[in-house]
């Protein structure tokens, strides 16, 4: 397709990756980001090969930042016993790109640096889009300025201002039942303790799993920091709840120390090292009917159309795949409407499938001790489709990590079901004590 004038609303990971992808093909891209500047905020992010491979092809220089290359995923039960390892030693050779552990601010930095080097891309900060013209198409900033384009992409996250209009019906974020504590701790105290030194020196993504909670930890910035994400069901969280109309709240470590008092020593130590942190309400929503406005000139990507729980570390990666497939569709079609339909046809089913599997993994990570947990622990030992750990079955891992989003292909079956209640969740409610002291034991 000839060079297009493209406006991207949102300068997060998905928006910047899309700008790089389309700018690389000669399109004139303008990104409008509402923040005044990108701050040193956030915690860790995992960048799997299905994402890093694409970023590298668009000129992102990961060599300019401190990082870790993942050894794989390690699964540990809440008392401290290692259950299974899912090694990633062959990732670079097999999938053509590393699996990185990065600080989110560092990832944004290298994306912004790559954007600055691309003459086809302009990034506007402190620029809030207040309205859309879906026919032109165009966007109107809060300042009143109007910008026309050939294509407008909404990469404005789970609170997207255009999602409902594009979907043709209201589709609001829904509470998943979990909250996430996102934490960074200094690596020094961990290195000084023989019981926790290996957490920093051996860059595994360690998953500690227990009743209605799990924690994931991995080192960052060459071993300077240790990133921890703790996910807890609302009903067993002993801290102040995130408000009904809030997405996050700030707290101190007292609630974590209390909640995990009975867990293994590394988890207790990590909770004790935690200072203040942000607690996030985890939300997603049912599958959208469509990602492209009927006018054929405005589309969405990333969390604006497929937010997912963090349990497969694929949220940003799937947004990056969106960018790659949009790039491929615009290359392959001379008609913009046809290109956007091809983009939607390929991306919607894959993203929906990944999002659905984050919900499934949510259940397996939060089992109470008992027959279901014992069955899980046994299944985790085998390279078979029954293994509840998504990456531990080699065919699923190949499907996830080996996927080339820059090639258009026949669409896969679309998941159209709603994510409803399950037997495991019903069992959880029957097992709950609603007593934090008992839960912690």
Distance (Å, rounded) from C-alpha 187 to C-alpha 204?
14
Distance (Å, rounded) from C-alpha 74 to C-alpha 217?
10
Check 99, 100, 218, 390 and give the catalytic one.
Answer: 218
Torsion angle of C-alpha atoms 403, 407, 411, 416, degrees rounded to 10: 60
- Please, what sign has the CA dihedral across residues 94, 95, 98, 104? negative
Q: Is 343 a catalytic residue?
A: no
SS3 content of the chain, % helix, strand, coil (to 5): 40, 25, 40
Q: Largest Cα–Cα distance of the chain, in whole Å?
A: 64
Whether the CB-CB separation of 433 and 439 falls below 8 Å is answered with: yes
Q: DSSP letters of 389-427? A: SGGGSHHHHHHHHS--TTS--PPPPPP-------HHHHH
Count of Cβ atoms closer than 10 Å to residue 50 Cβ: 24
* DSSP annotation of 148: E
Annotated catalytic residues are: 218
């Amino acid at each position: 397709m000839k060079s297009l004038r493209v406006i991207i609303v949102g300068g997060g990971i998905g928006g910047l990756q899309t700008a790089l992808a389309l700018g690389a093909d000669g399109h004139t891209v303008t990104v409008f980001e509402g923040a005044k500047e990108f701050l040193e905020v956030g915690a860790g992010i995992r960048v799997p090969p299905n994402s890093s491979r694409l970023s590298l092809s668009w000129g992102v220089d990961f060599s300019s930042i401190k990082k870790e290359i993942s050894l794989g995923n390690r699964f540990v039960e809440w008392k401290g016993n290692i259950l299974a390892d899912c090694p990633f030693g062959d990732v670079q050779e097999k999938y053509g790109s590393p699996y990185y552990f990065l600080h989110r601010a560092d990832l944004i930095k290298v994306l912004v640096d790559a954007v600055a080097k691309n003459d086809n891309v302009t990034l506007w900060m402190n620029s809030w889009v207040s309205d859309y013209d879906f026919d032109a198409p165009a966007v109107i900033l809060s300042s009143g300025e109007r910008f026309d384009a050939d294509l407008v992409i909404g990469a404005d996250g789970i609170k997207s201002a255009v999602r409902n209009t594009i979907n043709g019906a209201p589709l609001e974020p829904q509470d998943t039942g979990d909250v996430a504590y996102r934490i960074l701790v200094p690596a020094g105290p961990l290195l000084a303790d023989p019981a926790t030194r290996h957490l920093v020196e051996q860059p595994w993504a360690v998953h500690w799993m227990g009743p209605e909670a799990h924690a994931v930890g991995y080192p960052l910035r060459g071993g300077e920091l240790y990133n921890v994400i703790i996910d807890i069901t609302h009903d067993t969280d002993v801290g102040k709840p995130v408000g009904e109309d809030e997405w996050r709240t700030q707290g101190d470590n007292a609630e974590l120390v209390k909640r995990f008092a009975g867990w293994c020593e590394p988890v207790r130590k990590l909770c004790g090292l935690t200072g203040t942190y942000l607690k996030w309400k985890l939300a997603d929503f049912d599958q959208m009917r469509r990602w492209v406005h009927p006018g054929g000139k405005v589309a969405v990507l990333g969390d604006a159309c497929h937010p997912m729980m963090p349990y497969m570390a694929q949220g940003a990666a799937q947004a990056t795949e969106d960018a790659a497939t949009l790039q491929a569709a615009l290359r392959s079609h001379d008609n913009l409407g046809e290109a956007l339909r091809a983009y939607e046809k390929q991306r919607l089913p894959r993203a929906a499938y990944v999002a659905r599997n984050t919900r499934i993994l949510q259940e397996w990570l939060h089992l109470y001790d008992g027959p279901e947990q014992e069955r899980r622990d046994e299944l985790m030992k085998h390279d078979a489709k029954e293994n509840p750990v998504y990456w531990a079955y080699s065919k699923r891992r190949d499907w996830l990590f080996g996927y080339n989003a820059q090639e258009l292909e026949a669409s896969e079956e679309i998941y159209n079901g709603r994510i409803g209640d399950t037997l495991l969740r019903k069992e959880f409610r029957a097992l709950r004590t609603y007593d934090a002291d008992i839960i912690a034991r």
